[in-house]
Structure formats: C-alpha cells, structure tokens
Chains A and B, each alone.
Chain A
Amino acid sequence: MNANAKARKDAHWPAIRFTVNGESRSVRVPPMKRLLDVLREDLHLTGTKEGCGEGECGSCSVRLNGELVNSCLVPVLQAEGAEIQTVEGLALDGGLHPLQEAFLHHGGAQCGICTPGMLMAAAQLLAESPHPSDAEIREGLAGNLCRCTGFMRIFESVSAAAGAADAEPARESELEQTHHAR
C-alpha cells in the first residue's frame, strides 16, 4: 500500500497524540495498534526493533513517561498524551550519548538488533541509579536478550558509561532466589 492509500484508509480513526523525542506527533491508526508498529510504520522510527513480540527479549524497549516499557506490549491508545523516548532520541545535539560512545568503544554491539533496546534499558537504569553496581546493571538489563556478545561487553559498556572505571566482572547469576525477613 502506498503512503496516500494508507493515509486515506486510516483517516477515519480518531487522532492519538503524544510526544516522541521531544516532538509532538499525531497519528490516526487503530487504537489497538502496538506502539512498536506505530513508531516503525507510521513515524518511520525504525531504530526500535522487534524481536520476540511477546515482552521477553527487550529489543523493542522505549521509555514512556520516564519508565522503561516493551513497545510491543503497549496499545498505542495507552500512549495518548505520553512522552516517549526512542533510541533516535538518545544522541545529543548530533553527538553520541555517553552510552552509545561506551557501547562503541567497549564492543557492546555486534549484530545490532538488541542494541537499541539495550541502550534504552541502560538509559533507564542510569536515570534511576547513576552509578549502578554490577548487580544493578544485571537486573536493569535482565529483560534484554543478546545472542552475540555474551553480555559481558554490554555490562562493561554500561559500567564505563556510568563512570565506574573499576568495573569488575559480575557474579554468576543464581538459579533460585531466596528471601528471609523477620
């Protein structure tokens, strides 16, 4: 379908407005359309990737009103009035974001499919915890899967971006969790 045909077809949907990377945007699409698809197909912001389409892999992570979300699980109507940040909104005044610089210099990106989601999850983490521990980095990125790097270079990249020069290798993850309290 060409752009004009698509515009005619979608014209009857009510307008849904929100802000993406600081710009006001308005779309006329079915309210159940996934935010992921609106970003990619209607706004042509193809930095956000689809991996699993079921909230398991984190490739489609974006920030919505200051929280990290999987954009494949957000019906666009629920983004009405929201402030959305995608990977295209990370770079500052044409220069790379410190996280992007760190991924570049520490080998945090290989094939690149997980990278936008990793960057957004890392940006969320650093917004809440500017100097995260290794455990916090692991938890912050636990919902983002990478099949190339083995994760260590990604963790090192985030650590480097946070300014933690003495980054230690993170511990083996535990199979089970336990909690005791009195």
Chain B
Amino acid sequence: MRGNAEMHELVAPGSLGAVLDLLAAEPGEWTPIAGGTELMVAFSAGRLNASKLVSLWGIPDLRTIEVTPQSVVIGAAATFLDLRKHAVINAELPLLAKAASWIGSIANQSRATLGGNLVNGSPAADSSPALLVYDAEIETISVRGRRKLPYSEFHTGYKRNVLARDELLYAIHLPRRFAHHRQHLRKVGTRRAMAIAKVALGATALLEKGGLREIRLGAASLAPYPARLRQTEAALLGQALTRETVLAARRALLAEVQPIDDIRSTAEYRRRVAVNLLEEFLLELRREGLRS
C-alpha cells in the first residue's frame, strides 16, 4: 500500500522555539522530520507510523557548524554534504568526513542529517563509529532546557535512545584533541555507494614509547546499537603492540561483540571480518610505531 499524504499532518513552524513549544504542548504526538531520507522511505511504502510530523528542515540554528578553540559543534540538522565540505572537519576529524562520504549517494547526502542518523539509531549507522572514537558529546534541547551527555550513552537499545518525548537532538560536540592521534575507519559493504555496512570499525590511538597510551574503538553492526568496544580497548590499553597483545585483543573482541544474521550478512562473517579489521589496524599501528 502506498502512503497517502492526506493521512499525515506536516507543519513547518520555521523556528526552533516554535518546534519545541509544539513538542512540549503534545509530548510524543509529533515526529520530527529533517531531510526525510528515512521517514519518507517509510511514507512511500505506506508504513510511516506517525500521523503528525514537524519539519526541522531550514531551521538555521540546527544546521550551523561552529568551531571554537576546544571543539567543533555540529548542529543536528547539518547534512552529510555540509560535513564533507567543512575544512576543520576534513583536517582534524577526517573519519567523520569519510563516513559522510559513505552515506548513500550525493542526493542522499544533501538531505540526510547527522542528527537523523543518530536518532534513527540503526546498528549500522555510518557516522557512529567515528563519533564514538572522537569522544563525541550529544546536546539535547527542550523547553525545559539543554543537557549534554556522552554519545556513547545516547543509544539505550535497538533503535532506542535517551531522548524524552518533548526533546530534540540539538548538537554534536567533537573535541579538537584528536588531530595527532592515529585514526582509522573502515567499512565493509557490498559496494562503494548506497550500501549499508555489514561491519564497520573506527579507531583512534595514541602511541607512546611503543605502547598504547590511548585507544578507542567504535563499531557498527556488531551489537544492537553502535558502541565502543570497551573490553577490547582494556586488553590493549598500556600494552606494547606485540603479537601476544594482538591475539589478546582479537580474543577480547570476539568475546564482546554480539553480531546477528540478517539480510546483509551473517554473524559468523561479521565476527571474522571484525577481528581482521582490528588486526589490520593494530599491525599498521605497530609498523608506524617501529618507524617513529
């Protein structure tokens, strides 16, 4: 059954304040819609489960990218093309620019927003591994005020998150302290464009005297939601990059991830690829450590 436009109300109050008032007046009644790359697919197929929608498209406060000495603050409705074109993001947070280039196609990247990617909460979300390894913080907003929390605490289950029913995702804060870290991001999918990840792994690391002083690993499609691989990180932190360390990290990753069989891949394939992606990154780090 095709979607029927007459069955869905859509309003565009035009300002952030007016959107928040609407959400506060009828909590849970209104579904925010930004670029529509997720919700309009559901609408076309006749399975959009929202009778009242409020447009976030074209609200300037939500699309700004602000650079301060400490951080890059990305409005939740900044598009992936906005991210790809941003000089500081390209220079200092290249994993996010790379992830943005993997989202669908140009016509999707011109509409799909960073906030939409996170609120949609797919376990395979392209932007998530980069945000996880950059220690991103999420800022939310409602008529009650704003709050900030680590992005790693934003998802609470499959397609579930911490947002209250009157609350919007407002901005994503990225600290500008990773420019000198070793950074790595790799996605495995069926083709370069338009493919949803079978597995993706991101990493940032700081090497000191051959040992890992800092290590962050962020994964997609290995759990019900994108998440840090904390146990694998613990197996690596402070260690020299020996063969034993790499093997221990592989074991930790296999013990920690919970991939599933689905239409895109199998749990077994995902496990094998994930440990290989991890090993690839660690061996590359070791080569760089030996050179420096």
Contact = CB atoms under 8 A, between A and B. Distances in A.
A73 B41 CA distance: 7
A28 B228 CA distance: 48
A55 B58 contact: no
B110 A53 contact: no
Given A73-B37, A175-B191, A55 B5 contact: no
Contacts of A39: none
A67 B58 contact: no
Contacts of A55: 37, 40-41, 104, 107-108
Contact of A174 (B11, B184, B192): B192
Given A55-B104, A179-B94, A179-B186, A72 B40 contact: yes
B216 interface: no
Nearest to A50: B44
Contact of A77 (B12, B41, B45, B288): B12
B184 to A, nearest CB: 6
Contact of B107 (A32, A34, A53, A143): A143
Nearest to A37: B5
Task: Tell me what chain B mostly uses at the interface: helix, strand, loop, or mixed.
Answer: mixed
A48 interface: no
Given A177-B192, A181-B183, A121 B111 contact: no
B95 A142 contact: no
Nearest to A72: B44
Contacts of B187: 176-177
A160 interface: no
Contacts of A115: none
Interface in A43-63: 53-56, 58, 61
B108 A70 contact: yes
Given A179-B94, A180-B284, A33 B5 contact: yes
Interface residues on A, range: 35 or more
Contacts of A175: 188-192
Looking at A32, A33, A140, A176, the one whose CB has the most chain B CB atoms below 10 A away is A32
Given A68-B106, A75-B36, A143 B194 contact: yes
Interface string A22-36: 000000011111100
A67 to B, nearest CB: 4
A124 B192 CA distance: 20
A179 B185 contact: yes
B183 A182 contact: yes
B55 interface: yes
A173 interface: yes
A132 B184 CA distance: 28
Contact of A34 (B5, B6, B33, B55): B5
B15 to A, nearest CB: 15
B5 A68 contact: no
A80 interface: yes
The 4 A-B pairs at the shortest CB distance, nearest first, are namely A143-B105, A142-B193, A30-B5, A33-B5
Interface of B: 3, 5-6, 8-12, 33, 35-37, 40-41, 43-45, 53, 55, 57-58, 81, 94-95, 98, 102, 104-108, 110-111, 180, 182-194, 284, 288
10 contacts: A34-B40, A37-B5, A55-B41, A56-B194, A69-B110, A73-B111, A75-B55, A180-B184, A181-B95, A181-B184
